[in-house]
Amino acid sequence: MILDINNIRSQFPILHQQVNGKPLVYFDNAATTQKPQRVIDALNKYYTLDNANIHRAAHTLAARSTEYFEQTRKAIQQFINAKEDAECIFTKGVTESINLVVQTWGRQFLQAGDEVVITTMEHHSNIVPWQMICEEKGAVLKVVPINDAGELLMDEFEKLLSPKTKMVSCVWVSNALGTINPVKEIIEKAHAIGAKVLLDGAQACSHMEVDVQLLDCDFLTISSHKLYGPTGVGVLYGKRELLEAMPPYQGGGEMIKEVTFAKTTYNEIPFKFEAGTPNIGDVIAFKYALDFVNALGKLNIAAHEEALLRHFVNGINEIHGIKLVGTALQKISVQSFVLNNMHHFDAGMMLDAKGIAVRTGHHCTQPLMQRFGLDGTVRASFAVYNTIGEVDILIEALRKLANLNN
């Protein structure tokens, strides 16, 4: 199926504006994707017609809101092929999803001397929480190294595994490099020595087919706002037996069955982990983002994005003075680079003056930047609504920047 990109772009009102007197070229999709009109309309409809708290009232608005909210949970189950929708827990984002696992599973099952394995390319949200619990429990945090292309050294990964390894928590796709990690192999090797596996799916779920049963991962995190949905919504998938064995993350309404001053009994999953009033409107709107992706087809989206990435890399390789950072053989449409004659922040500001939005800095991956001897990069990341023409605008702008001071 060949995608009609003009039709797709027409569904994103934010794209049709000028920034600094130039047509907006939005290449910061790894930070957050833009939202199609159907998502915006769903959010507006909720607050216009359906606004009510869910699960706890008998009136019509509450019943409608509850139904729409739970429809999103069912849509997520189908999107990732979980066994049941109860294995899908709503959070405020991937960061909270990882912290939930760390503060429940980690506190329950990690002991002094146990080992947790992460990788060099992790986002800070998959580093700091594990550092915190390892320090608290006396556990050891180990790190898988990478090569100069930004690929995991799998032989070194195997050497780090031992009977003491209790968790392997790794990013499926690097937000800074675009590298696709061999997560099926990672899961199989970790399970072989009795360890659990958490996959950070923030970047993967908008670009790749996801089947948690086929992968056999124990946990998977999902970000709505990087999947054309609203901000403030995330999902933690976990196998039922693990979620049931984990203590509650927060106390309050919804996560209880019965409360007395003497004792509280907790609700069933997923509600055990969803204390308080959730982000109802944004969760409901998230379903419409999933519908958008499903209608286009993940494989079709991936093929278009791959063409954009290939065109960009070919163009950049012809420009003297620009170095690509992250050249793995298996990548999604994310490319970091540095200009030899310019600080990455200055480059980002000069591109912004031309209406081109990119990300600059360490991308919440400071240890990864240190591995490459950098304090940051410029990062261009492409989505389904981007065009070859837009990529050419970026290439030409970078050619001019690279020629400055030369």
User: DSSP 3-state assignment of 124?
Assistant: helix
- Note whether 38 and 292 are within 8 A (CB): yes
Specify the residue for token string 């290939």. 310
Q: Output the six-digit token pair for 310.
A: 């290939």
Distance between first and last Cα of the chain: 45
User: DSSP 3-state assignment of 36?
Assistant: coil
- Note whether 374 and 323 are within 8 A (CB): no
**Side chain identity at 201, as an amino acid letter?**
G
CA 162 remoteness from chain centre: 28
Give the largest Cα separation in the chain, rounded. 75
What's the residue count for the chain? 406
Find, among 226, 174, 103, the residue nearest to 367 by Cα: 174
Find, among 150, 129, 173, the residue nearest to 328 by Cα: 150
The DSSP bridge pattern shows strands 264-266 and 322-325 to be unpaired
Specify the residue for token string 């929708």. 85
> In sequence order, which residues have a C-beta less than 8 Å from that of residue 347 and are 6 or more positions away?
339, 360, 378, 401
φ, ψ dihedrals at 280, nearest 5°: -60, -55
Residue ranges in 258-343 assigned as alpha helix (H): 280-296, 298-316
- Note whether 325 and 338 are within 8 A (CB): yes
**Catalytic positions:** 364
CA 25 remoteness from chain centre: 22
> In sequence order, which residues have a C-beta less than 8 Å from that of residue 148 and are 6 or more positions away?
none
Secondary structure (DSSP) of 159-194: HH--TTEEEEEEESB-TTT-BB--HHHHHHHHHHTT
CA distance 235 to 238: 10
User: DSSP 3-state assignment of 74?
Assistant: helix
